Every structure is written in C-alpha cells, then in structure tokens.
Amino acid sequence: MRHVNWRAFDLNLLVVFDGLMQERSVTRAGRRLGMSQPALSHALNRLRYLLKDQLFIRTPKGMAPTPRAEQLALPLRKALADMERALEPEAFVPAEASRRFSIAVNNYAAIVLAAPLVSAVFAAAPHLQLDLRPSGTLDVLELLDSGDLDIAIGTFDDVGERFATAKVLEDEFVAVMRRTHPTGHRPLSTAAFGALRHAAISSSGDDTGFIDRSLATHGTKRQIELRLPYLSAGSVLAKSDFVATLSRRVATALVRGAALELCELPLRSPSVRTSLLWHRRFDAYPAHRWLRDLIVSVSGGL
C-alpha cells in the first residue's frame, strides 16, 4: 500500500476537496473558491493521484462522491474548520472580517428572524459571507460536530452536553382568518372554534397538536380540511372561510399587506420557544461569540 507523503502535501488541495464535496460541481466549486475551472480540474487530478481514488464521478446530476470521498468528507471538514479558527486573529473586527458563517434555520426562524438578521449582519460586517440553510433536511448535530455549521436556530430537545443553547424568542398561537369571515370576528367559544373550517400550514414550523388535545377535553374536535404551504396560505385564507392557527409572529408576517386579521384563540396557548444551538468548543471564540450576541440582540427587537 502506498502512503501519502504528508510533508509534501499541498493543504490547498483539501480546500478544493471540501469545495467539491459541498457544491458537487467543478464550476460552482471554482466560483466559490475563486479558481478557474481548468485550475480546479487540475487540483482534482492531483488529489486523485495522491489519494489513489477517483473521489468524484461525473454524473448527469453533478459530481458524485465515491465511498472514499464520503469517508474523508467529515474529518477533513472538521480539520479545515479547526485550522481556520486557529489561524484567525484573537480579536474579531466585524467591519474587517471576511469569513463565512453557516446558520441552519427552521421555518419559524426563516420567516421571523432571517430578514432582520441579514440586515444587521451586513450593516456591521459588510465583507462577511452568510449561508442560511433550511434545517428540515439537515442532520444539524452532525454538522455542528463537523464544523460545517456554526449555529442552528430552532427548537431543540436533549442535544447532549457537548452543545450549548440560548433562548432567543418566545411566542404564542393565534388564529388567522379573512377580514370578512362569517364569524364577524366575535369572541369564539371552544365549540364554535372547533366547528370552523381549519387549514394546516405545513411549512410554518408550528405544531398545533395542542388544539386537538384541548378540544378533546371539551368534548369536541376540529376537522382539518386543507393542508397547504406557507407561501400560498395568505391568498387562500383571504379568499375562503378557512381559519389557520399559527404562532403570533408568523401570523403577523402572513397578514402584512393581506386582507387577513389575527384572532385570539378560545384555548390556552402553549409557549413556542426558539433557541440558538452551537458546539461548546466555540464558546469563547470571538467571531462566534459576536454572531451569537448579534442574533440575541436582533431577536430582542422583534
């Protein structure tokens, strides 16, 4: 078996490998790394020679990693993240910083927090790169472990001692219906609320199972007749008699500029808690601490 001569190994090749692993495209990886396509292809050929593996195979859907590449991906991503932290200056100066932050957001955070957070980040640090990633399809804990994610924003339970959390938002539920709804927006009894035509917003990030449990204790229930994504909820609710139950901040964003109104529930609403999640090894890291503090500050103004 031929061993790699690590003393002669160009560490820039690991950056190329990581870029290809994340982008699955020579063109996109080159754009991300500031390399021409021929230069990146040359670097990939050097990697293939040194590691004695094809690493990435061209397919109709992009560059597919080989099993060897999959095996290397997480350890190398973690090693690169550790090197980046080790080489970064002790002090973090937002106005001069040019690093990239990767944040996983659940649907609630994407709707409520993303816009003000993006504005605040680039107002303070115009040279940063910010990658907001939907957390629904991610293994958030694994990506935080590997260093591929800096922070996650969402609802978390039993994450383990190696992670830290901090509450940033708390919310409650309200109903949303059109302004000309037949109820006339009178205070509703529990039975009357249960009898309404209910819609469930599938991508709002809200769990409204508490409604069914509460209605059951009052001897009634609701029938969800419609399920639809958040993007189409405003127009559908404005032109129908459906009512949807959403967290207050999500509902407020939905009714803005639409012929919709918020209505208080006749049921006791549980609290909706949104938190930051990060790996404890970043606790004292200046850049990371700055980002966490900024998110907490932005959230406090909502």
Using DSSP bridges, classify how beta strands 100-105 and 151-154 pair: parallel, antiparallel or unpaired.
Answer: parallel
Residues 33 and 196: their CA atoms lie apart, in Å, by 54
Q: Looking at residues 211-215, what average pLDDT do you find?
A: 90
Give kind and range of the element (H or E) at residue 47: helix 37-51
Model confidence at 218: pLDDT above 90: no
Give the pLDDT of residue 6.
61
Tell me the whole-structure pTM to 2 decimals: 0.70
Q: Which residue has the higher pLDDT, 243 or 91?
A: 243
What average pLDDT does the structure give for the chain? 89
CATH 3.40.1190.20 fits 88-170+273-300, yes or no: no
Q: Looking at residues 35-46, what average pLDDT do you find?
A: 90
Using DSSP bridges, classify how beta strands 242-247 and 197-201 pair: parallel, antiparallel or unpaired.
Answer: parallel
Longest dimension (CA), the chain: 79
**231-237: long-range contacts, CB 8 A cutoff, minimum separation 24:** 231/203, 233/199, 233/201, 233/204, 234/258, 234/260, 236/199, 237/176, 237/177, 237/178, 237/199
Model confidence at 58: pLDDT above 60: yes
Model confidence at 89: pLDDT above 70: no
Model confidence at 10: pLDDT above 90: no
**Which of 145, 147, 118, 170 is CA-nearest to residue 291?**
118
Residues 210 and 227: their CA atoms lie apart, in Å, by 17
Q: Which residue has the higher pLDDT, 204 or 113?
A: 113
> Can you give the residue ranges of every domain in the chain?
6-86, 88-170+273-300, 173-270
Each residue's pLDDT tens digit, 236-265: 999 999 999 999 999 999 999 889 999 999
Give the pLDDT of residue 204.
59
Equal CATH topology for 88-170+273-300 and 173-270? yes
Task: With cut-offs at 50, 70 and 90, classify the pLDDT of residue 137.
Answer: confident
What is the CATH code for 6-86? 1.10.10.10
Amino acid at site 204? S
Task: With cut-offs at 50, 70 and 90, classify the pLDDT of residue 160.
Answer: confident
Q: Looking at residues 188-212, what average pLDDT do you find?
A: 85
| Sign of the C-alpha dihedral computed for residues 175, 179, 182 and 185 taken in this order | positive
Homologous superfamily (CATH) of 173-270 is Periplasmic binding protein-like II (3.40.190.10)
